[in-house]
Amino acid sequence: LSSVEGSSILTAGLPQYGQLGHGTDNEYNAKDSSVKLTYDPQPRPRAIAAFSGKTVVKVACGTNHTVAVDSSGFVYTWGFGGYGRLGHREQKDEWQPRLVEIFQKHNVLPPNAIVSAGSASSACTAGGGQLYMWGKMKNTGDDWMYPKPVMDLSGWNIRCMASGNMHHVVGADDSCISWGVAQNGELGYGPNGQKSSANPKKVDILDGMHVTSVGCGYGLSLIVVDRANVGDRLDQLEIYDGDTSTEVEEEVQPTKKASTSTNSRANKRKKAKDDSESEEDDDEDESGDDENGEIEEAKGRRGRKPSNRGRGRGAKKAAPEPKPSGRGRGRPKKTESPAQKAGSSGGRGKRGGKRGRPRK
């Protein structure tokens, strides 16, 4: 924060929802022939004119909205108003800083107040250290359209707080507390613990430690702990020193075992497949032998048939004896003597002449 041109806060970036606080979203049509709306970014820090004459002491940036506190303890929000994250009892976008009405008179923020902004929510600590939150708290249920006290943390001495996408982390007394919707272990409950929590819950592994600062991102959390009086306990925690060689070796071993077991299973499946194929081949051989035997037996039966029916396809058939035709079938063949043959031939010769009436 710095004082420039009578102001004490500067912003830069995308002004799509008015989150820069300059009174406009810098929207314009990128094409003359069609409608294609785009937003002119603010490439350099620019002072917010609405804070002219005021001193901003705290600021927090959400995904598309901003929260600020001035030296008088007043709270201002602006930007995207969806889910009530601005705390104005409506979901209207604000292009300039707007005062949150609940934090006035006797409920202004003290100098040591905590301010936090998440993806769809906002939070701050007011008089007596009471934590207030507003916006989207859960995936289901009603949104908090204005600041409401978080009664589960009443009486705790909250020193720091941070909000991520849909989770929150708080450092209070000698404990670290987290809650919200999480899928990647960002709440710190351990691999065997629950992933999400609708209500604030202690992080057991950090119980009794003095948390000095916290930070949240999209799917991760960072916690700074004072080593005083807890140095021995910190030494028992897993330390990430940036050397990934040991982690790679640890990951390789299970991979080898997995590959070995995979190969053994593949060999077993291959052996079982070969056995089944060999059994099928044996069955085919046996069936083939049975078929060959049946064929040979059929051939043998055909070979024992009478010879007058032939010796089979392709065998030379014997010339059949001429069968008698006509009515003489079955009668004995008449034999003629030479004299009869001569007489018959002579008679045939006489009869062979020209036939006609006898001459007178």
Structural domain boundaries of the chain?
55-245
Q: Residues for the chain: how many in total? A: 360
Of 139-153, 170-184, 340-354, the range with the lowest mean pLDDT is: 340-354
Q: Give the model's confidence band at 256: pLDDT under 50 very low, under 70 low, under 90 confident, else very high.
A: very low
In this prediction, residues 304-325 reach a mean pLDDT of 52
Residue 279 in tokens? 């059994």
| Dist. CA 91–CA 75, nearest whole Å | 17
Residues 6+ apart with CB under 8 A from 166: 118, 119, 120, 136, 139, 180, 181, 182
pTM: 0.65
Q: Give the model's confidence band at 350: pLDDT under 50 very low, under 70 low, under 90 confident, else very high.
A: very low
Tell me which residue of 207, 202, 170, 180 sits closest to 189, measured CA to CA: 202
Q: Give the model's confidence band at 291: pLDDT under 50 very low, under 70 low, under 90 confident, else very high.
A: low
**Does 187 score more than 90 pLDDT?**
yes
Query: Reduced to 3 states, what is the DSSP secondary structure of residue 138?
Result: coil
Q: Give the model's confidence band at 349: pLDDT under 50 very low, under 70 low, under 90 confident, else very high.
A: very low
Q: What is the pLDDT of residue 110?
A: 95
**Which of 49-58, 114-123, 136-145, 253-262 has maximum average pLDDT?**
114-123
Q: What is the pLDDT of residue 232?
A: 74
**Does 258 score more than 90 pLDDT?**
no
Residues 6+ apart with CB under 8 A from 126: 103, 107, 108, 109, 110, 113, 132
Residue 102 in tokens? 């609940």
In this prediction, residues 238-255 reach a mean pLDDT of 56
Q: Give the model's confidence band at 278: pLDDT under 50 very low, under 70 low, under 90 confident, else very high.
A: low
DSSP 186: T
Q: What is the pLDDT of residue 358?
A: 57
- Measured at the alpha carbon of residue 109, what is the angle toward residues 108 and 114, in degrees to the nearest 5? 160
Q: What percent of the chain has pLDDT over 70?
A: 64
Adjacent-strand bridge partners of 211: 225
DSSP 236: H
Query: Reduced to 3 states, what is the DSSP secondary structure of residue 28?
Result: strand
Which residue reads 């009664």 in tokens?
151
Q: What is the pLDDT of residue 257?
A: 47
Q: What is the pLDDT of residue 233?
A: 79
C-beta neighbour count of 201 within 10 angstroms: 16
Higher per-residue confidence, 292 vs 74: 74
Give the CA dihedral 143, 147, 150, 153, nearest 10 degrees. 140
Higher per-residue confidence, 302 vs 164: 164
Q: What is the pLDDT of residue 93?
A: 97
pLDDT, tens digit, 9 for 90 and up, residues 322-347: 555 555 455 555 555 555 555 554 44
Of the CATH numbers 2.130.10.30, 3.20.20.20, 2.40.50.140, 3.40.50.10310, which one belongs to the domain with range 55-245? 2.130.10.30
Of 97-111, 195-209, 215-229, 231-245, the range with the lowest mean pLDDT is: 231-245
Q: Give the model's confidence band at 318: pLDDT under 50 very low, under 70 low, under 90 confident, else very high.
A: low
Whether the Cβ atoms of residue 15 and residue 28 lie closer than 8 Å to each other: no
**Does 128 score more than 60 pLDDT?**
yes
| Dist. CA 311–CA 303, nearest whole Å | 7
Q: Give the model's confidence band at 28: pLDDT under 50 very low, under 70 low, under 90 confident, else very high.
A: confident
| Dist. CA 338–CA 296, nearest whole Å | 59
Helices (H), 197-337: 231-236, 245-303
* CB crowding 165-184: b at 16 or more within 10 Å, else e: bbbbbbbbeebbbbbbbbee
**Does 244 score more than 50 pLDDT?**
yes
Q: Give the model's confidence band at 181: pLDDT under 50 very low, under 70 low, under 90 confident, else very high.
A: very high
| Dist. CA 180–CA 169, nearest whole Å | 9
Return mean pLDDT, the chain: 79
| Dist. CA 5–CA 62, nearest whole Å | 26
Q: What is the DSSP string of 278-310?
A: HHHHHHHHHHHHHHHHHHHHHHHHHHTS-GGG-
Helices (H), the chain: 231-236, 245-303, 338-351
